[in-house]
Amino acid sequence: MWTYLKLFLTAVFWGGTFIAGRIVAAVVSPFSAAFLRFAIAGACLLAITLAREKRLPALTGRQAGGVALLGFTGIFAYNGFFFAGLGTIDASRASLIIACNPVLITVLSAWIFGERLGPLRLTGTLISVAGAMVVVTRGEPSRIWEGGIGSGEMMIFGCVASWVAYSLIGKVLLKGLSPLTTVTYAALSGMLMLLPAALVAGLPADLAACRWQDWISLAYLGILGTVVGFVWYYQGIMRIGAGPASLFINFVPVSAIVMAYLILDEPVTAFLLTGAALVGTGVYLTCRPTG
């Protein structure tokens, strides 16, 4: 039960990252925003890891290579695509594209790791994705394609590919490292990869341009969207598998719309309630015990 609650809250936090990311992307370049996010997250994760485990455990050569891949896929590539995409398309459109993640992760987890993919899980996955689509398109899925697929959409599709790789690589690494250690190493390695790109993109100028709301958004992205979200997500992968854990990502667009209502005073519609019900049903069907 606690694992499922943590995964749900992770999706809520990640829903908020679309709003925070949209705010930051208005004035800060993608790589600068990504670096600042993980500078905050990396410092917090390192402090927590040292407090709990007293030191960062040494890595084997294989683990070091895996951590570098995690840093590149889930930190460097994902966040570069994320902020670049949010600079050109709205958050709801981006969150719908992100809803492709669970389907790909579930199918690839079954193929690569032998995680069970029965009719019930497949049905639940499709129902939850349908719910996410209902929410962000207000019952008109064709709206997502009205403007065609532009560079912003392609950037968010890059997010999908990056996160699928990150989730599957992490499944392998978790056999020898704790979720906290894995996320800490990934965040630090990704931050180091982002620094040169951020400097080239004009990091000093971006720092000078940051407003108070940008710093609040970056703190949210770094602490709740990364430190808490990444650790809880990896704990979920370790305990219930990459496929079921990834399904909770379908709550991300739902929570993004709810936060838009709370923060921007946008109305809660019948489509939101219908979509939330579909997502909840899909998660239940996929994660319920089958024995």
Contact between 10 and 235 (Cβ < 8 Å):
no
Torsion, CA 9, CA 12, CA 13, CA 17, rounded to 10: 160
For residue 267, give the DSSP letter.
Answer: P
Domain hosting residue 107, numbered range: 2-287
Each residue of 183-237: pLDDT tens digit? 889 889 999 999 999 999 899 999 999 999 999 999 999 999 988 987 888 788 7
Mean of per-residue pLDDT scores for the chain: 82
Q: Greater confidence, 96 or 89? A: 89
Total length of the chain: 291
Q: Hey, which of 40-54, 135-149, 157-171, 208-222 has the most confident mean pLDDT?
A: 208-222
For residue 147, give the DSSP letter.
Answer: T
- The C-alpha atoms of residue 193 and residue 72 are separated, in whole angstroms, by 7
Q: Side chain identity at 83, as an amino acid letter? A: F
Q: How many domains does the chain have?
A: 1
Each residue of 129-150: pLDDT tens digit? 787 777 666 677 666 566 555 6
Q: Is the pTM of this model over 0.85?
A: no
Range with lowest mean pLDDT among 61-70, 163-172, 204-213, 234-243 = 234-243
pLDDT (mean) for 87-95? 74
pLDDT (mean) for 30-51? 91
Residue 40's pLDDT is: 94
- Burial class for 46, CB neighbours closer than 10 Å (0-12, 13-18, 19+): middle
Contact between 198 and 32 (Cβ < 8 Å):
yes
Sign of CA dihedral 236, 252, 35, 45: negative
Q: How far is CA 57 from CA 7, 50, 177, in A?
A: 26, 10, 9
Q: Is 57 helix (H, G, I), strand (E, B) or coil?
A: coil
- The C-alpha atoms of residue 277 and residue 291 are separated, in whole angstroms, by 25
Contact between 182 and 67 (Cβ < 8 Å):
yes
